Amino acid sequence: MTSYLCAIGTANPPHRIPQPQIASFMAGALQLNEADSRKLRALYRVSGIAQRYTVLPDYGRENGQYEFFANTPDLEPFPSVGQRMAQYRQHALPLSVQAVRDCLRQQPGLSLSSITHLVTVSCTGMYAPGLDIELVAALGLNPNVQRTCVNFMGCYAAVNALKLANAFCQADAKAQVLIVSTELCTLHFQKSHEDDHLVSNALFGDGAAAAIVLGKPAPQGFSLALEAFHCGLEPDGRQDMAWHINNFGFEMTLSSYVPHLIQRGIRQLTDQLLENLPVELADIHSFAIHPGGRKILETIEQELGLSTHDNRFAYEVLRDYGNMSSATVLFVLQKLMQSLSAADAGAPVLSFAFGPGLTLEAMLLKVVAAETATASIHKAALAATPTAPLVATPSE
């Protein structure tokens, strides 16, 4: 039985900071000399990011005006994990609710009270009772809703949430699954000159995405049928992409070797996903790729023979939001769904996401138009209805 991604909603915090302005903040916070400051600004210019969103207005301010960081030249005392998690608890819920409301606007016939499963996703904050329980109260969900938390898996975690939703719908045709992925990455700025931290500071932003997965297509617009999943692992990358909790926040390791690891594994991942399906890579013209960074997108294009136009939704999300960890691939899928037309019905969609491990996740989806789905259901119903034998009517 097939399940369907029927709607995606997104939300971002109110503070939209241009990338050059963030670079200025970082250069000051790291107390860089003129030469190193130029190098840092160059890194930000080539990132492919124009702006990012954050729950912390400090990234757009100058020293002396900070609300979260200390108003000292070196930002000391630097915020602890506890202080960062207090910010997460303050901001995660309202941002999540905003994303859910945006999602439901696309399918107004769906009632929150009918949601049977709630899956929350995050790697940038944790507490208990957590975001899942707070969402039940804030949204007015049934207290008996089945809750699952996908925590600390990194940028590919939304794919695991979709796998869970798919399993729930296959087990119960009446299941209605709400996924909420909320990431406040900018809480975890690391005041370090190490290359890994310089790169991660240049990439990550804050955002939330919500998605509805059902056992049948949406009654209006377009849905994406969840056709197949495949997970690959490159153990050689365990030290190249990692995520650890330390005294002053969650620390990201993101080495320059990651694109090479993805290049080495992406073709095999694709082949293994498609090997038992009636679809070949040449048949696929729609893509939703997690924009872990500009170099990663370029590497995948080179390896799979894609154009920048094929990858346009990923570049748009990277430009406008940066990398929002697990929520990002849902932002890309939302842009793809918004672009669909009747001519796309039945078209396959290939999606990738990557994270610690090094983990490579792949999904194959198929575009379903509401009109097509309704016609198919009606046709199947007619075929199942026995027809009465023809009886001749005597003439008068």
Active site residues: 155
Q: Report whether 9 contacts 95 (CB < 8 A).
A: no
The Cα–Cα gap between 58 and 63 comes to: 9
Which residues partner with 54 through β-bridges?
Answer: 15
- Helices 19-29 and 195-203: crossing angle, nearest 10°? 150
Q: Report whether 281 contacts 274 (CB < 8 A).
A: yes
Continuous H helices in 186-305: 195-203, 258-274, 294-304
Helix (H, G, I), strand (E, B) or coil at 132: helix
Q: Report whether 49 contacts 22 (CB < 8 A).
A: no
Buried-state track 63-92, b at ≥16 Cβ within 10 A, e below 16: beebebbeeeeebeebbeeeebbbbbeebb
Continuous H helices in the chain: 19-29, 34-45, 81-106, 131-139, 157-171, 195-203, 258-274, 294-304, 312-321, 328-338, 370-384
